[in-house]
Amino acid sequence: MIRLIILILFVLIPFSSNAEYVVFTYDCGKILKSERNNNRVQQDLIKSWLQGYMTARNYENNSKKGDGVNLDSIFYALIKYCRENPLKNSNDAALYIYDYEL
């Protein structure tokens, strides 16, 4: 019963936050390993994630960044970022690519 009350309070009380919540990311080490091992399935998953990230950011900003840019090119920008920043993750890379490369 107490859990239900807490759940209802969380639903009814408005929270405002500027925090970013990322549901799914890949560590750069995993990204580089997939590229080194030519793991096409994992690369396709990463590309799909990256494409979704770019689409969401464009929707958020009413923009068309990356329009006409080949997804493989964006993926290789992600690989380059990860080689230069191996302790980061796909969210860090996508944020950088979107803000500074496109």
- From first to last of the 102 residues of the chain, give the pLDDT tens digit: 656 555 454 444 444 444 455 567 899 999 999 999 999 999 999 999 999 999 999 999 999 999 999 999 999 999 999 999 999 999 999 999 999 999
Count of CB atoms within 10 A of residue 71's CB?
Answer: 14
C-beta contacts of 48-51 below 8 A and 24+ residues apart: 49/24, 49/90, 50/74, 50/75, 50/78, 50/90, 50/94
Residues 39, 45, 47, 50, CA torsion sign: negative
Per-residue pLDDT, 10 = 47
What tokens does 73 get? 């090119």
* Angle formed at CA 56 by CA 26 and CA 30, multiple of 5 degrees: 10
Per-residue pLDDT, 49 = 92
Query: 102 in helix, strand or coil?
Result: coil
Residues in a beta bridge with 89: 27
Per-residue pLDDT, 12 = 47
Q: pTM (2 decimals)?
A: 0.76
